[in-house]
Amino acid sequence: MNDFNAQSADDSVAAETISVEAIKARIADISSKPLSEHSDEFEAIHAQLQKALSGIDGL
Which sequence spans correspond to the domains of the chain? 3-57
How does residue 40 score in pLDDT terms, banded at 50, 70 and 90?
Answer: very high
Q: Say if residues 16 and 59 touch (Cβ distance below 8 Å).
A: no
* Side-chain-side CA neighbours of residue 15 (13 Å): 12
Q: Counting beta carbons within 10 angstroms of the beta carbon of residue 14, is it exposed (0 to 12), middle (13 to 18) or buried (19 or more)?
A: exposed
pLDDT for 56: 75
* Model pLDDT, residue 4: 42
Quick: pLDDT tens for 1-34: 444 444 445 555 555 555 788 889 999 999 999 9
**pTM, full prediction:** 0.61
